[in-house]
Amino acid sequence: MKLFAAPLNLPLSEPFVTARGPRTEAHNVAVRVEHEGVVGVGEAAPIARFSQTQQGALEALHGVVLEAPADLAALERQLDALAPRFVGQEAALCALDIALHDWLGRARAAPLWRLFGLQPTRVRTSMTVSLQSPSSAAARAAQLGERFALLKVKLGGSQDEALIEAVRARCPEAGLRADANEGWTNPNHALAMMAALAAARFELVEQPLPAGQWHFARRLEHRAPLPMFADEDLAGALDAEKLSCLAGCYHGVNVKLDKVGGLLPARRWIAAARAQQLSVMVGCMASSSLAIAAAAQIAPLCDVVDLDGSLLLARDPFEGLEIEGDEIVLADRPGHGVTAVLADAVEIR
C-alpha cells in the first residue's frame, strides 16, 4: 500500500478568536493511501496547544509501512501496532487513520457508518461565534442564528458576562452553548461565569478551567448550575484511569478525532465514556469537509454534535459533504464520502 502526504493550508473566512488568541488560517495535514486502484484520503489539524506543528506531523509519517486491510478488524490491528510511534503526534495518526478507514470503505463499496454498524441519519451541528466584543458577538450570533438553531459561543475574555447577556438578548430562542477554552483560571470566577450562563439558559460549557486542574473541577462539578464538558482535558489514546478521573469532574467529554488519533480511538473513548455515564460530544478543529465528513460518521454515537470546521473556511477545497441548513447528512457513499484530489501529495517511503 502506498502512502502520500501533503500540507493543507486553509484560509479562514474571518479571524477565529478563542481565549488563546486569533487565527486566520488552518495549517493541517492530508494523507492519501493507494492500493490496487482504490484510494483513501484523510485530514487532521495539528494542535499547537499540544505542541504539534504541520511540519512535525508530516515528519512523523516518514518510515510508516502499511498493508491493505482485509476488513475492519485487520485495520484496527494495524492502527494499534502503529499507535506507539505517534504518541504526541496524534494529528498525524488521525489523518492516517481516516485515510485507511476511507480506503476500506471504498474497497468494500460501503460508507463508514455502515461498517461501524450505524444507521444513516441527519445530525444537527452547532455553529461557533468566536470571542469578540459583546455587541459584535451578539450581532454575529443573530446572523448565524438565521441558519443555525444551535450556537457555540467562545468565552474566556474580559467581558464574558456582558457577552453572555448580549448574545442571549439578541437570540432569545437559540440553543446556546459556551466554550471557555481553559480561559477561566480562577475556580470562583469560573463558578460565577457558569451562574451567568445558567441564568441566560445556556445548555453547557466546555473546559471552564485549565486542563489538569481536576481537584478544582471536581469541586465545581458538584456546584455547577449547568453541565461541564472536558475538551482540552481529553487527548491521546484511551486512558481508563484518566477517564475515571474525568468522570468525577465533568458531566461529559468532547471527543475530537485530531486530539485522540482518529476514528478508532474516538470510538473507544466514546464507548468508555458511555460506560462511565458521561455525555459525549463530537467536536472538530478548523478543517475542510474531508475531516468533518470523517467525524460525522460517528456522530450518531454522540449526544452533542459540533462539526462546523469546514464552515469556518473562506473556501472548502473538497466536495462530497452534504449539509442542508444546519444538518449534516450521512450519505450512502463509500468511505467518508468526500472526494479529494491532493495534487501536492508526496509519496512517503
Please name the helix (run of DSSP H) or strand (run of DSSP E) that holds residue 260, with its range, or none.
helix 257-260
Q: Strand pairing of 21-35 and 2-18? A: antiparallel
Its pTM stands at 0.97
Classify strands 327-329 and 346-348 as parallel, antiparallel or unpaired: unpaired
Closest CA to 237 of 271, 268, 198: 268
pLDDT in tens, 167-217: 999 999 999 999 999 999 999 999 999 999 999 999 999 999 999 999 999
Q: Report which of 179, 177, 173, 180 is spatially closest to residue 145, judged by C-alpha positions.
A: 173
Class at the top of the CATH hierarchy for domain 122-329: alpha beta
Q: Could you give the residue range(s) of every CATH 3.30.390.10 domain in the chain?
A: 2-109+339-348
Q: Residue 53: helix, strand or coil by DSSP? A: coil
What is the distance between the alpha carbons of residues 76 and 101, in angstroms, rounded to a whole number? 9
Q: Is the pLDDT confidence value at 77 over 90? A: yes
pLDDT tens digit sequence for 232-285: 999 999 999 999 999 999 999 999 999 999 999 999 999 999 999 999 999 999
Superfamily in which the 2-109+339-348 domain is placed by CATH: Enolase-like, N-terminal domain (3.30.390.10)
